[in-house]
Chains A and B, each alone.
Chain A
Amino acid sequence: MKNYENEMKLEFVSKASNESFARVTVAAFAAQLDPTVEELADIKTAVSEAVTNCIIHGYENKLGIVKIVAKLKGRTVEIEITDSGKGIENVELAKEPLYTTKPNLERSGMGFTIMESFMDTFEVESIIGLGTKIKMSKTVEGQVEEEEQDFTMVTR
């Protein structure tokens, strides 16, 4: 199996239309480790949650910059997602499943819970008025080499 040392940075304006671009970009970068479809889906979902939070909570739909740094170290992908928005008052409370400050927007309050359970490590750093940084990482097992291909999927 291959081992890489690699790094990338991404900055974009906090528009909801960039959510898909952001998660697909990080997933494409992480794909260098040959993760399984499942592992890649976990990474995509965690990135989507963090980026959405920056846009709707950090900047509350005002324009700001969302920054993503991703690193590949061995078989581990490390991801940092940062906004310079309003920050989180009580991080422990915010991490509770089903906790949301925007229930009227049909949020489920599951974002942090999903990041925590889909990634191996997960940390939140936040300062009121300065912004929020999410650090998370996942070690991927990757695809077993010369795995038998399942062609039945194609003719579904």
Chain B
Amino acid sequence: MDLKKNNEVGSFVENLSNIDKTSIFLLLEMTGKDSIMRKTKEEESMETVFEEKEKTLILKIREEIDDYKVQEIRRKADYEIQRYMPKKVVFDFDKVTFMDSAGIGLIIRKVQVHKFNRSRGRIGQFNKEYKKNF
């Protein structure tokens, strides 16, 4: 993502270089500059389901998680979490066909963030091929 393309957002990011990414996406949403989020369904690397009753956000990740794809997944996950404020987040890896250390980085980081936010992160359903990475 090229935040620098937009001067306003660019300077916001520079001024608050330590701020959590989710705040930036909240800002992007507030200012209506969330065009990076708008993609057609087929292009999306993730599908989200929010279960209102249990306040559970399910992030169904699709296809491949590498260093390239993980950037979009992370962006989208932060955005959805900020949007729904779930009590519990479930990462569903059932449709993941490939994953490398970028995926491990994503999980470690997300679990830390949710511990911090006092919500519960759970790693659900691994495609059996990728279980052995752990």
Once the chains are docked, how many angstroms separate the CA of A107 from the CA of B104?
Answer: 8
Q: A residues near B, CB below 8 A?
A: 16-17, 19-20, 23, 37-38, 41, 44-45, 48-49, 52, 55-56, 105-111, 114
Determine, out of B33-41, B63-71, B81-89, the stretch whose residues face the partner at the interface: B63-71
B66/A20 in contact, CB under 8 A? yes
Distance in Å: Cβ of B75 to nearest Cβ of chain A:
12
Once the chains are docked, how many angstroms separate the CA of A23 from the CA of B106?
Answer: 20
Main SS class of interface, A: helix
- Starting from the known contacts A41-B129, A108-B105, A114-B101, 15 additional A-B residue pairs (CB-CB under 8 Å) come to A17-B68, A19-B66, A19-B68, A38-B129, A45-B100, A48-B98, A48-B100, A49-B101, A52-B100, A52-B102, A106-B70, A106-B106, A106-B108, A108-B101, A108-B104
Distance in Å: Cβ of A48 to nearest Cβ of chain B:
4
- Give B56-98 interface residues, CB cut-off 8 Å to A: 64, 66-68, 70-71, 74, 98
Count, A-B residue pairs, CB within 8 A? 57
B101/A20 in contact, CB under 8 A? no
Instruction: Show 8 A/B contacts (Cβ-Cβ < 8 Å), sorted by A.
Output: A20-B64, A23-B66, A52-B67, A52-B101, A52-B102, A106-B108, A107-B102, A114-B133
